[in-house]
Amino acid sequence: MVSYPTEVLMRHPPRPFGSSLARAAACLVLTSACTTLRPVALDELRGPTPPDRVLVRLNDHSTLWLSAPKLVGDTLEGVAQGLGSQHILLSDAMGVREREAAPGRTA
């Protein structure tokens, strides 16, 4: 076992592991926020400030996140990570949603 000089122990008193773990957990809870998905109206995608990113649910029940979405005619255009530019007909989509903060749901 290592023996430390008294002056070292006095400058840096040992802290119980549990207290630093509790502080780290509290910090994580306080800095993270709950979110929810809200439906996006098609007019929002045509407007001057469309959402940054939307979740599209397709007719085959698959989902796809699109960045920089915009509506051009009857086609939803955007960029999907790993897939590049995507063009989705509105008839192929069941719904479009956007992630937003839900402060009332935060614990």
- Residues 24-68 have pLDDT tens digits of 665 555 555 688 899 999 899 988 888 999 999 999 999 999 999
**Residue 35 has what pLDDT?**
82
Angle CA 38–53–58, to nearest 5: 70
The pLDDT value recorded for residue 107 is 54
Taking the CA atoms of residue 20, residue 26, residue 32 and residue 38 in that order, the dihedral angle to the nearest 10 degrees is 150
14, pLDDT greater than 70: no
Average pLDDT, the chain: 79
